[in-house]
Structure 1
Amino acid sequence: MTEQRLPDFAIRNEREAALAAKCDRLAAVFAERAQRHDAEASFPFDNFADLREAGYLKLTVPREYGGDEATLHEMVLGQERLARGDGSTALAVGWHVGTVLQLRGTRAWPETLFAAFCREVVAGGAMINSFASEPATGSPSRGGKPETTATRVPGGWRIRGRKTYSTLSPILNQFTVKAGIAGEDKTGEFLVHKGPGVSIEETWDTIGMRATGSHDVLLDDVFVPADHCLSERAAWAGKRQDDSGWMLHIPACYIGIAWAARDFALQFASRYKPNSLTEPIAELPHIRQQIGLIEAELLTARTLLYAVADRWDASPAAERPALKHELGLAKYVVVNAALKIVDGAMRIVGGASLSRKLPLERMYRDVRAGLHNPPMDDAVLTSLARRALEERT
């Protein structure tokens, strides 16, 4: 019998249906490889070859440069669907498609540089990420000044430093870094290509998201041409205004993992019949109660996630920064809901959920990582509290 599913409210037209179908096909393949890459903590080059072949890497590239120019809603849809197969792959590629969406909106790069990169994405599957975290500064969202330094030299810059949590590092040929400018109270952002002085130290050995390739990147007197300096600003100056919509790739990934855990638990409950029962455990009242709790969390989280994405898409660019609180709330609600969903799925499956032969224990470890992706829970709640108090004054 063919499994029947209710229509997904996130799919509203043929273009979105085609994207979802493509991502579902990819996710099915990724799911078969996920256990091996997780056990080995190996980077899934095979998954990224498939993403390149399927044209997914150009999802958010502007149409004028040959890309699909996906909306935020579409990017969220694609990321959620991929994560149902493998969370590590979805989170890793999310930094690429998200960064391109950000650059498409801000045009923070010189246009000739951005155009050339976009054409590389379309023609050869080039990717990008921004490496900002460092051992001494922690998350860049906390405002720490980078210890990586850029020194002015004839024709450009020499950069020295170490970047941590450098997701996609095994596969990228270029990336951006933030560095303090030597002898000046400024920081800069630079486009760096792999070459002399760039090396990777394989430090990524974690309990979750083990296949994202988030190793340390070492920069040892790396030369960067002058036209690859993307920005210079005073160290005390605020960050360039960014509407942050692109960061919804993060909660999209984690609710995708949760969806997969939920599906596994539903299949298990519908089929598992211990010899003490005459029917599958799905008929037991307490199991039904647990399934109901999972569905409530899933529907609430997905409704908020897509509603915020749709508001961002519908808003003029100048008004999008005002959605910062709603974007942070979406990440907070969705990730915490995902944690509850995976936990509930494991309660339904019981002790077997701890077995490495089943995917739930990997999903449980992967979804926990969402708490450590920006924005952090405390920052979101503090921001919401500040807005509430300001509205009363």
Structure 2
Amino acid sequence: MPVPNSDDVAEVVAVLAAHAADVDARSRFPVESFAQLRRRGYLGLLVPAEYGGMGGGLTELTALAQQFAGGCLSTAMSWAMHCQQTDLVVRHATPELRARLLPRIAAGEVYLASVTTESSKGGHLLSAHDALRGADGYSLDREAPVVTGGMHADGFLITMRDGPDAAEHEVTLVYADSADLKIEQTAVWQTMGMRGTDSVGVRLVGRVAPDCVVGERGKFRQVAADSMVPVGHLAWSACWLGAARAVFGQLVRRIAAPRQKSGGPDVNSPLVQERVARIRLDLELVSAYLGKVTEEVGQIRARGGRLDMPAVQIHLNTLKLAASELTFRAADRMVQLAGLAAGYGTDSPLPLERTFRDLRSAALNYSNDRLWTANGTLSWADRAVSLL
């Protein structure tokens, strides 16, 4: 299945945009939008063609994430995280699991959710408390306070401590089909923004087959560095940029249109021109850095290199930091520029108020505090200062 053309993408974006306000207002999962993504094959964007997928790569992922986010950021983020999980399966699952699961993803039958959070450790990715148990070590009882689309997923990739006697850093990633689990919702999702991701708390109880281990047992750190972290930072950043870019385009068109009697920003005002230029600067910087990091990761993967080198990790972390902070700053400036009614009002024809709330979550989605300290530490190991 080839990567779709621009007309097909535009039709999907229109569906996402049509339901975005209701999804946000009712804090519900975007079921209509995901039905489109399933039907048109977008769940299989990263699935190789040999399994029936689109055979897309990171460039296609970041481009589509931007476009989808221009319609509905909650939908785009949920889809992007599904693609992140798909990449893990493609690159690190057993041949048996790939053969069973990838054709179902390509057919739109399986939406994958990620289970990495725990109440005892928050969002720390590389540790786990709940352990695999049983004589064969494949039984699980896992609680997670935040799972994007948790009650709508058809399958889960779950981090588990490798066993009751394993250290918390000995983490194993397993796939579990929703049909093989008892799934209980344990918490609701009532937040300022990103309300449509429906990131509820869940408890998962069940068993997984030995061939459902993704990567080596106890060595999740390796697959996280190769797949989950880089794809996550690229896809999230693309989504944030796409949402900010789309609403900026709407705002510029509104300002540049013939002025109504009610007034509005004066396109000839030097102050307005400067504010527009500053917003544009933030978006340009994020776009350029996203493009360069996408290129770097793609080239390293193509030659079979490692993505856990200090300089590459710094570049990935910097992308997430810059994208989360600069896109939110751009949204904040857009609200100020648009004014009280058009920028701050919930009934404005511009979705600025929703975009502002959604982008405020970006710095919290895997906390920037962790990444600032990580980059500080990593800088001691990259004394050559290998800038991108």
TM-score under structure 2 length normalisation: 0.87
Deviation at 1:256, TM superposition (A): 0.8
Q: Is 1:145 the counterpart of 2:128 in the alignment?
A: yes
CA pair 89-266 structure 1, distance change in 2 beyond 3 A? same
Alignment-derived partner of residue 357 in structure 2: 365
CA pair 360-384 structure 1, distance change in 2 beyond 3 A? same
Cα deviations by residue, 1:261-280 (Å, 9 ceiling, x for unpaired): 21222122123736486x96
CA pair 319-177 structure 1, distance change in 2 beyond 3 A? closer
The answer as to whether partners of 1:261 and 1:341 remain within 8 angstroms in 2 is: no
Alignment-derived partner of residue 338 in structure 1: 327
Deviation at 1:336, TM superposition (A): 1.2
Which runs of structure 2 are paired with 1:1-393 in the superposition (5 Å)?
A: 19-104=5-90, 107-141=91-125, 143-146=126-129, 148-153=130-135, 157-185=138-166, 186-195=170-179, 197-220=182-205, 222-230=206-214, 233=217, 239-241=221-223, 242-243=225-226, 244-247=229-232, 248-271=234-257, 273=259, 275=261, 281-315=266-300, 316-322=303-309, 323-352=312-341, 353-358=343-348, 359-374=351-366, 376-392=367-383
Query: What SS is found at the alignment partner of 1:240?
Result: helix
Query: What SS is found at the alignment partner of 1:281?
Result: coil
Q: Distance in 1 between matches of 2:117 and 2:62?
A: 24
The answer as to whether partners of 2:127 and 2:171 remain within 8 angstroms in 1 is: no
Q: Distance in 2 between matches of 1:228 and 1:112?
A: 8
Q: Distance in 1 between matches of 2:64 and 2:99?
A: 24
- The 10-residue stretch of structure 1 (122-131 or 377-386) with the greater mean CA deviation from structure 2: 377-386
Q: Distance in 2 between matches of 1:272 and 1:206?
A: 37
Deviation at 1:68, TM superposition (A): 1.7
CA pair 245-180 structure 1, distance change in 2 beyond 3 A? closer
Q: Distance in 1 between matches of 2:220 and 2:158?
A: 17
Q: Distance in 2 between matches of 1:168 and 1:335?
A: 21
Q: Which amino acid aligns with 1:161?
A: R
The answer as to whether partners of 1:271 and 1:280 remain within 8 angstroms in 2 is: no
CA pair 150-384 structure 1, distance change in 2 beyond 3 A? closer
The answer as to whether partners of 1:269 and 1:348 remain within 8 angstroms in 2 is: no
The answer as to whether partners of 1:59 and 1:75 remain within 8 angstroms in 2 is: yes
Q: Distance in 2 between matches of 1:276 and 1:52?
A: 44
Cα RMSD of the aligned pairs, angstroms, is: 2.4
Cα deviations by residue, 1:355-376 (Å, 9 ceiling, x for unpaired): 11121111001011111223x3
Query: What SS is found at the alignment partner of 2:267?
Result: helix
Query: What SS is found at the alignment partner of 2:132?
Result: strand
Q: Distance in 2 between matches of 1:52 and 1:169?
A: 17
Structure 2 residue ranges without an equivalent (≥5) = none
Q: Distance in 2 between matches of 1:201 and 1:19?
A: 41
Cα deviations by residue, 1:53-82 (Å, 9 ceiling, x for unpaired): 222111100122121221211110000110
The answer as to whether partners of 2:23 and 2:30 remain within 8 angstroms in 1 is: yes
CA pair 218-389 structure 1, distance change in 2 beyond 3 A? closer
Q: Which amino acid aligns with 1:355?
A: G
Q: Distance in 1 between matches of 2:65 and 2:45?
A: 11
The answer as to whether partners of 2:230 and 2:297 remain within 8 angstroms in 1 is: yes
Query: What SS is found at the alignment partner of 2:140?
Result: strand
CA pair 86-238 structure 1, distance change in 2 beyond 3 A? closer
The answer as to whether partners of 2:45 and 2:106 remain within 8 angstroms in 1 is: no
Q: Distance in 2 between matches of 1:285 and 1:190?
A: 57
Query: What SS is found at the alignment partner of 2:99?
Result: helix
Structure 1 residue ranges without an equivalent (≥5) = 1-14
The answer as to whether partners of 1:20 and 1:77 remain within 8 angstroms in 2 is: no
Deviation at 1:21, TM superposition (A): 4.4
The answer as to whether partners of 2:158 and 2:175 remain within 8 angstroms in 1 is: yes
Query: What SS is found at the alignment partner of 2:208?
Result: strand
Cα deviations by residue, 1:237-275 (Å, 9 ceiling, x for unpaired): 771252333111011111111112212221221237364
- The 10-residue stretch of structure 1 (95-104 or 192-201) with the greater mean CA deviation from structure 2: 192-201
CA pair 391-326 structure 1, distance change in 2 beyond 3 A? closer
Cα deviations by residue, 1:10-61 (Å, 9 ceiling, x for unpaired): xxxxx88x55543333122211211101010111111001111222111100
Query: What SS is found at the alignment partner of 2:358?
Result: helix
The answer as to whether partners of 1:43 and 1:170 remain within 8 angstroms in 2 is: no
Q: How many residues align?
A: 368
Query: What SS is found at the alignment partner of 2:134?
Result: strand
Q: Distance in 1 between matches of 2:148 and 2:220?
A: 25
Deviation at 1:126, TM superposition (A): 1.3
